[in-house]
Every structure is written in structure tokens, then in C-alpha cells.
Structure 1
Amino acid sequence: MTPHTAQTEPVTTETVTTETENLRQVIDRARFVLFDFDGPICRLFAGHSAEDVARNLVEWLEEQGLRGLLSEEERVHPDPHLVLRVVNKRHPHSDLVAELEELLTQHELKAVPSAWPTAFADPLIRTWTAVGVRLAVATNNSPRVVARYLESRGLTECFAPNVYGRTRNLDHLKPHPHCLNRALSNLGSAPSAALMIGDTPSDFLAAQRAGVPFLGYARNGTKEKLLRDAGAEDVVGSLEPVLRVLRGEL
């Protein structure tokens, strides 16, 4: 299923029917659904630039006299998780990494009030819960952040207690399948009975390594290309068709 981006070939009724049937099969197989957080559930930094957060982490390192820890390219990279990964690689499991991870968590917590719910995510989550599918969050964000966001949306009971996020062991960040494996174990799910919904190649690779079927969510053409280049076959540009298939409307 392709997102609503520019088409290179005419869309026929047969194509739409095939895509809908593929999506229906993906959904019907799932007895457990693992959501990535930032992307499929919300845009966490919609009101707080992720690039500004990354810059703040770099400035904090410089204040500690550690400017040389990052390359010039790394110092201007817009992804705060990359900064965290790089420092962990060069000083694994150190107090420095723990302090930097906590600083990132505080930025994530500040972003929660201005996070944008992903369109159709809330009703999709509630509908899946209502039909008896068990849900979990498997994310590289702090579980404290996920818990606060879910509480703000009245979604805590749809997931509790199955929120698996970033730990102090940063080697376990996706694409490592650690958080997915924890979710599967605690849900009592075989990998084949679950479905991972994610929006990045690292989500896809983690699902692949855990043996979990994957549904990509790509809110634009760039994200779709990244997912497809990584190997993802089933990709949607909106959660609306997922919700409509689940409700029997497609």
C-alpha cells in the first residue's frame, strides 16, 4: 500500500483493490500490535525542533570541555539520538552517557504538551483495543515520555503496562530488536502473531531481526523512499486506511 504521494503509474481500481487486500491480510494476521512512538502515534517535536534539541546536547558537551568528542558533521547533525549514539560509542555505559541521556529525556518531556497526534492514531488505537488486540509501544524514546503522552490522550489503558523504551543501555536502541523482544515476551506473543508499525528504517530492521511482520507509516515521500530502500514492502501514507480496514469499511 503506497502513501498519497505523486504516482508514477495510473492508479486503477484493480491496483487499489490489491493494495487494500494486502493491507487487510496484514491486519487480520495481527493479534498483537507494537507501535513505534514518535511518528505512528505522534510527532513529538512538532512544537520543539529536534534540531534545536540536538544543538543543545552538543552545547552541553562543549560546556563539559568535550567539544572534540564529536566531528564537525556530528556537531551539526539534526538528530539528537545520533549525538547520544556517538557519545555512547566513544564512552560506552559511562556517567557521561547517563547524564546526556537524562538531558535528552528532559527535552522529550518538555515536548509532550506540544506534540501533534498522528492523524487517525487515537481512534485506531482504541478500535484495536476494543476488538481484543493487545498493544505495546516499542520505541527509542524514553518510556517516561511515552507514558506522559499516553496519559494526556487518555490512552494509557490501551497499552499499560506494555511500554518499552530507551534504557541506559544504548546498545539496545533500534535497529537492535531488544525493545520488540521485551514486548513480545511480556505479551506472550510469537513474532509471527504480532505486527510492528514504524516510520524509520531502524524500525523495519528491528522488526526484521525480531521476526515480526512490519507495516510502514510514511507521512511523506522522503520517508516512504527510506523505508522502501531499507526493504519494507507494506507502507501506508496515512493510518486512515488501516482504521477503515479494521472497522470493515474497506
Structure 2
Amino acid sequence: MNKQYQLVIFDWDGTLIDSAGRICQCLALAAEDTGLDILEAEQYRDIIGLGLPEAFRKLYPGVSCATTMDRMRDRYSHHFLGREDSPSEFYERVEEGLACLWESNLKTAVATGKSRRGLNRVLDVCGWHGAFDATRCADETRSKPHPQMLMEILEETGTAPEDAIMVGDTEYDMDMARQAGVDRIAMGYGAHSIDRLAPYAPVLSAHHFDDVMAFLDRSIVS
């Protein structure tokens, strides 16, 4: 029987919204603009979830010039923002599931590799400011997989690690949650394959958002 939780923490890109393709495209365009090698799409997918500085260092470890990395970041933001007139779509049943959680006793939070400006922009579009009990972004704390992001959310919401669960689609989500002592749900439709997430001992491997909601059902009191 599933244990009961008090707090559900969601990753954003690849967990709630289907944005991996857009992120990879914008990274490739930014690399081209900056004069860097354009990598394979799978290499770009691999870093989804990290903060941009950490992502760029992993993608281009031989590039140490801060000016080059600043230009890469600026061009990525330019291309990504240019496509935000048509926002990335939520995965099926995500909006309905979140609405159910917000009507329940469960607290919700977001722990994302997005910047604060980027997350606030999408929350504005959705009308969701204040909907989550806490949010943390990679540019205001330590990037995944360091557990600081989760530890700050736990402190802000007054939740013990054993009473929280992290829902994510990358190794960085799983590793961060494991280090923080938080249970994990691995989403099988995002940036990293479910086989890559399995070694982090998720309590559930989900392939649809309804799987998450069914698992949390015991914790939900409307």
C-alpha cells in the first residue's frame, strides 16, 4: 500500500510540459550563433534539467571563455523567448491533475532548471502565480543534482523529507531527491529514458500523468 505524502514536488520541463524538442533546437541555434559545434540532439537532451551554466559546461567542457558562454546563454534565451508566443504544451492530463491536487490537502512545489524569469513567465501565461506552495529555480540556488533546491523547499513548506515526493524525468531529479532523502517518481516520457532512472530506486515508474495521480490517491483528501 502506498504511503501518504504531504508535499509533491514537480520538475517542470519534461515532466509537466513537453519542451525537450524546443530546448534542443534552441541550444543548437545558440551554438551555431556562438560559433560552437552543433551537437547531436541526444547530447542536448542529456543536459535538460540542469541550470544553464552547468549545462553549457557539460556540453562544451573545452570552452573556458566566459564571454563565449555568456553569448551562448544570451542566444539561447533569444531563441527560446522567440518561440514562447506558442507555449510548449502540457503533457496529457497534467492540468487536470494539478487542479485536483490544488483542491486537496496536499502541498505542491516546483524544482526546476529554468531561470526565475523563465518560470515566472510561464506561470503568468497559465495564471498560476501562487498556485504552488513553493518554487525554486536554478539561478537562485544550487543547480540539480545538488539537493539544496529541495532542502529549501522542504524548509519553506515545513515538510520532513520522508513526507515529500519528487516527480521528475531526469537523472538530475532522481539524484537530487535521493540526496535529500525524498522519495522519487520517475516519468518515462521525458528527457531521460526510464532505464536511466531505474538505478535511483523510484517508488513508481510512470508513463502517463494519470499514473502519478493514481499513486498519490491515498494521500489526497479533498
TM-score by length of 1: 0.70
Which residue number in structure 2 is paired with residue 166 of structure 1?
138
1:171-190 residue pairs with structure 2 within 5 A? 172-190=142-160
1:115-126 residue pairs with structure 2 within 5 A? 115-126=88-99
Offset of 1:192 from its aligned partner? 1.4
Determine if the alignment matches structure 1 residue 240 to structure 2 residue 213: no
Determine if the alignment matches structure 1 residue 138 to structure 2 residue 125: no
Which residue number in structure 2 is paired with residue 147 of structure 1?
120
Q: Which runs of 5+ in 2 are unaligned?
A: 48-53
Q: Which runs of 5+ in 1 are unaligned?
A: 1-20
1:164, 1:179 within 8 Å by CA — same for their partners in 2?
yes
Distance 1:83 1:135, change over 3 A: closer
Q: Based on CA coordinates, which of the two structures has the bigger radius of gyration?
A: 1
Q: Give the whole-Å Cα distance in 2 for the aligned partners of 1:137 and 1:106.
A: 24
Which residue number in structure 2 is paired with residue 18 of structure 1?
none
Distance 1:89 1:235, change over 3 A: farther
Offset of 1:237 from its aligned partner? 0.8
1:173-209 deviation digits (Å, cap 9, x = unpaired): 2112232222222222221121110011111001011
Match of 1:192 among 162, 179, 192: 162
Match of 2:185 among 181, 190, 215: 215
Q: Give the whole-Å Cα distance in 2 for the aligned partners of 1:247 and 1:213.
A: 16
Moved more, 142-151 or 207-216: 142-151
Select the structure that is richer in helix: 1
Q: Give the whole-Å Cα distance in 2 for the aligned partners of 1:61 and 1:211.
A: 40
Offset of 1:230 from its aligned partner? 4.2
Which residue number in structure 1 is paired with residue 7 of structure 2?
32
Q: Give the whole-Å Cα distance in 2 for the aligned partners of 1:108 and 1:195.
A: 30
Q: Give the whole-Å Cα distance in 2 for the aligned partners of 1:151 and 1:167.
A: 19
1:95-114 residue pairs with structure 2 within 5 A? 96-112=68-84, 113-114=86-87
What is the total number of aligned residue pairs between the two structures? 206
Q: Percent identity?
A: 20
Distance 1:232 1:200, change over 3 A: same
1:11-48 deviation digits (Å, cap 9, x = unpaired): xxxxxxxxxx4xx32xx2x21111000122111245x3
Distance 1:188 1:237, change over 3 A: same
Distance 1:241 1:168, change over 3 A: closer
Moved more, 223-232 or 134-143: 223-232
2:138, 2:144 within 8 Å by CA — same for their partners in 1?
no
1:106-157 deviation digits (Å, cap 9, x = unpaired): 4443444330101121122122121122211101122222222233233333
Which residue number in structure 1 is paired with residue 26 of structure 2?
53
2:183, 2:202 within 8 Å by CA — same for their partners in 1?
no
TM-score by length of 2: 0.77
The residue type equivalent to 1:192 in the other structure is E
The residue type equivalent to 2:131 in the other structure is C
Which residue number in structure 1 is paired with residue 172 of structure 2?
202
